[in-house]
């Protein structure tokens, strides 16, 4: 014989809870497979659905209400995922990494000057051919020897040597004051 608890009708889960699996798959795609982030976003979506439950009660037919709820949940989850991505990419104003504090104090250089130098270097490197830029980056940026850079780039060592030579000549010419 079945117990009284087994005979009692099982309560239906809240309407939004029925969409949890579908919502989790959707948000997992939005978070590039970060399961923990997706779970957090779905949980926040469920909290917001619970707080807005009155908005969905009795305003439409049952079928329309379910469609409206599903669309609403997906929109809220998408907005939360976008907000999380933006939050990850932002740097709070007034917070500067410790390495920048140390570097500017050690070098005695102004941070604005360092930024200007980087912008100038980026513009100069953009004027080089991609092959020259790659060779220069391997040798002077990463500190590889010319044979090691040649292996990394898949070209002969003499080719790396000439590309670095011509790249440096171009940079010197660009940096020299006009006479």
How does pLDDT run across 106-164, given as a tens digit for each residue? 455 577 787 888 888 888 888 889 899 899 888 988 888 999 999 989 999 999 999 99
pTM above 0.75, yes or no: no
In angstroms, the CA 110 to CA 53 distance is 55
Are the CB atoms for 40 and 48 separated by under 8 Å? no
How much is the average pLDDT of 71-100?
78
> What is the per-residue pLDDT for 164?
92
Higher pLDDT, 63 or 118: 118
Higher pLDDT, 30 or 100: 30
Cβ-Cβ contacts under 8 Å for 44 (sequence gap 6 or more): 80
Is residue 69 over pLDDT 70?
yes
From residue 41, how far is each of 38, 62, 69, 146 by CA, in Å?
A: 5, 26, 17, 49
Are the CB atoms for 171 and 124 separated by under 8 Å? yes
> What is the per-residue pLDDT for 179?
47
> What is the per-residue pLDDT for 75?
94
> What is the per-residue pLDDT for 158?
93
State the DSSP code for 17.
G
Are the CB atoms for 96 and 128 separated by under 8 Å? no
Cβ-Cβ contacts under 8 Å for 112 (sequence gap 6 or more): none
């Amino acid at each position: 014989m079945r117990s009284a608890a087994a005979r009692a009708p099982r309560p239906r889960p809240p309407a939004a809870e029925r969409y949890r699996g579908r919502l989790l798959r959707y948000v997992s795609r939005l978070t590039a497979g970060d399961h923990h982030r997706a779970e957090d976003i779905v949980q926040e979506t469920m909290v917001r659905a619970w707080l807005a439950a009155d908005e969905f009660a009795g305003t439409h037919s049952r079928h329309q209400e379910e469609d409206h709820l599903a669309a609403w949940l997906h929109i809220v989850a998408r907005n939360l995922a976008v907000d999380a991505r933006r939050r990850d990419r932002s740097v709070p104003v007034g917070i500067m990494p410790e390495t920048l504090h140390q570097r500017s104090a050690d070098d005695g250089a102004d941070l604005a000057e360092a930024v200007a130098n980087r912008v100038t270097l980026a513009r100069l490197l953009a004027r080089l051919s991609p092959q020259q830029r790659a060779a220069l980056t391997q040798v002077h940026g990463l500190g590889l020897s010319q044979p090691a850079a040649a292996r990394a780039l898949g070209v002969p060592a003499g080719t790396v040597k000439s590309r670095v030579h011509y790249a440096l000549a171009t940079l010197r010419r660009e940096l020299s004051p006009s006479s």
